[in-house]
């Protein structure tokens, strides 16, 4: 009986029709809601903002994507005759109508791993406070902020502040002073053409372990992979790299000089403040390309925020294998097109994080194991289509900016050279890099 069963199982695998190509569904990915801060806010804000991305939350979201048992196409895509063959040899797999039991999970559509509010960290060396002319006063404004008392303070203070602190969101409120040299005359055009700023960008040295991707642009990076930003005391590329290195999943950074108002012009009688020059370091969980440098500043009443000296850098090394996985293979910008051996694929907006795919794969294996009658029986013959032994994690770009991580789960180990799918045929989407990782036995 065993020989007949083996022949039946082998016939199923050999006779299965070739499944459709494993395409990248751009329309489905584009429909995933994305509610993510995509870059550092303009203006002279807090010295450091962290906590935009929470990997634990992202992993939990990826695990939730493995909502039901899945099977590779080599088992699940059958003709009517093949289903009858399965039921002949394995009746316990079939329902009362002689059909193979199957289950599919709906795609999870969510922004992954982001949390609010962010954590504000004060600068180690506070800049001096800007001075606002006494003639600049709020216009048609009533302070509606909640107030609280602190025994150490002589008067009530606005919630979330401290003694002597003026809320920077109040009209005419002085903004933190900056460390960059001023521009004379104090105009947006003069700021854009200030050679002191461009020289800083052009003469900056690329930090070890990084490669420079663009130099001296007039815009900062916006991408779904934004992690945090920091106000620097100088155009310190090495310091910005160290900030990236100290942050989980950071893969690149953008350092630039920003023209910001010395006081808040909103609802203020003086709507074109004098300017300050801020050095900003913005870090991302992805590659950094010039196509993503699209934030050129903004108008704040009569004041114009300007960005200059913008440099981009990204890490060179491969991502580290997540726990339980090994043998990273660089597939460059290609995806594996192996529908017969694919357990599923999901896309998650945010940083490029292979740990998300690892969590998705591990949870899918656990779900399949719990519903593992098929795996148990076919495993008796050395064939288990319901177990992910390799996953692929790809950094997906939309219109040149990092969009998120695309994951594919496989029941067979493939070599990097076998990756053949180029998703850039859709002009808006592309794959920047992709890697496979094998399950440790």
What pLDDT does 198 receive?
Answer: 98
Residue 1: pLDDT band with limits 50, 70, 90: very low
| Distance, CA of 272 to CA of 261 (rounded, Å) | 8
pLDDT tens-digit readout, 144-203: 888 888 888 878 888 767 676 778 888 999 988 789 999 999 999 999 999 999 999 999
Helix (H) or strand (E) holding 240: helix 237-245
Residue 90: pLDDT band with limits 50, 70, 90: very low
pTM: 0.80
Burial-class residue 270 by CB neighbours within 10 Å (0-12, 13-18, 19+).
buried
* Mean predicted confidence (pLDDT) in 404-419: 96
Residue 120, number of CB atoms within 10 A of its CB: 13
Q: Is the pLDDT of residue 269 over 90?
A: yes
- Give, as one character, the DSSP assignment of residue 91: G
* Mean predicted confidence (pLDDT) in 353-360: 96
Burial-class residue 158 by CB neighbours within 10 Å (0-12, 13-18, 19+).
middle
* Mean predicted confidence (pLDDT) in 307-312: 98
What pLDDT does 73 receive?
Answer: 63
Looking at the chain, the whole-number percentage of residues with pLDDT higher than 70 is 76
Average pLDDT, the chain: 81
What pLDDT does 376 receive?
Answer: 57
Between these two residues, 93 and 409, which has the higher pLDDT value?
409
| Distance, CA of 251 to CA of 326 (rounded, Å) | 20
Cβ 346 vs Cβ 108: under 8 Å: yes
Which of 36-45, 75-84, 371-380 has maximum average pLDDT?
A: 36-45
User: How many contiguous H segments (helices) and E segments (strands) does the chain have?
Assistant: 10, 17
Residue 117: pLDDT band with limits 50, 70, 90: very low
| Distance, CA of 368 to CA of 60 (rounded, Å) | 18
| Distance, CA of 373 to CA of 161 (rounded, Å) | 60
Residue 12, number of CB atoms within 10 A of its CB: 20
Which of 2-11, 43-52, 400-409 has maximum average pLDDT?
A: 400-409
* Mean predicted confidence (pLDDT) in 354-358: 96
């Amino acid at each position: 009986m065993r020989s007949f069963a083996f022949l039946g199982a082998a016939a199923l695998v050999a006779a299965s029709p070739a499944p459709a190509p494993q395409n990248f569904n751009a329309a489905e990915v584009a429909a995933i809601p994305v509610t993510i801060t995509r870059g550092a806010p303009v203006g002279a804000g807090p010295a450091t903002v962290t906590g935009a991305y929470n990997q634990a939350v992202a992993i939990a979201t990826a695990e939730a994507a493995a909502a039901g048992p899945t099977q590779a196409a080599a088992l699940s895509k059958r003709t009517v005759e093949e289903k009858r063959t399965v039921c002949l040899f394995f009746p316990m797999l079939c329902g009362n109508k002689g059909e193979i039991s199957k289950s599919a999970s709906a795609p999870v559509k969510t922004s992954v791993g982001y949390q609010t509010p962010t954590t504000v960290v004060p600068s180690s060396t506070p800049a001096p406070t800007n001075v606002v002319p006494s003639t600049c006063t709020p216009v048609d404004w009533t302070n509606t902020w909640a107030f609280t008392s602190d025994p150490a303070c002589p008067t009530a203070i606005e919630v979330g502040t401290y003694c002597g602190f003026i809320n920077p969101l109040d009209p005419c409120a002085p903004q933190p002073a900056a460390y960059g040299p001023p521009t004379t005359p104090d105009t947006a055009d003069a700021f854009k053409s200030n050679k002191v700023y461009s020289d800083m960008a052009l003469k900056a040295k690329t930090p070890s372990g990084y490669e420079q991707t663009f130099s001296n642009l007039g815009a900062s990076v916006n991408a779904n992979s934004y992690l945090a930003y920091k106000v620097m005391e100088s155009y310190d590329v090495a310091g910005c790299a160290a900030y990236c290195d100290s942050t989980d999943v950071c893969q690149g950074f953008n350092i630039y000089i920003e023209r910001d108002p010395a006081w808040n012009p909103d609802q203020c009688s003086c709507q074109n403040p004098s300017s300050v020059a801020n050095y900003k370091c913005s870090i991302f969980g992805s590659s950094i390309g010039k196509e993503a440098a699209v934030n050129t500043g903004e108008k704040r009443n009569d004041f114009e925020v300007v960005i200059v000296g913008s440099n981009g850098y990204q890490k060179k090394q491969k991502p580290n294998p997540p726990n339980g996985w090994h043998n990273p293979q660089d597939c460059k910008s290609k995806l594996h097109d192996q529908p017969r051996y694919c357990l599923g694929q999901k896309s998650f907006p945010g940083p490029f994080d292979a740990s998300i795919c690892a969590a998705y794969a591990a949870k899918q294996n656990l779900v399949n194991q719990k519903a593992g009658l098929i795996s148990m029986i076919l495993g008796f013959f050395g064939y288990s289509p319901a177990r992910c032994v390799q996953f692929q994690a790809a950094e997906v770009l939309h219109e040149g900016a990092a969009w998120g991580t695309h994951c594919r789960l496989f029941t067979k180990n493939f070599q990097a050279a076998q990756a053949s799918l180029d998703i850039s045929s859709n002009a808006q989407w592309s794959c920047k890099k992709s890697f496979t990782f094998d399950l440790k036995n």
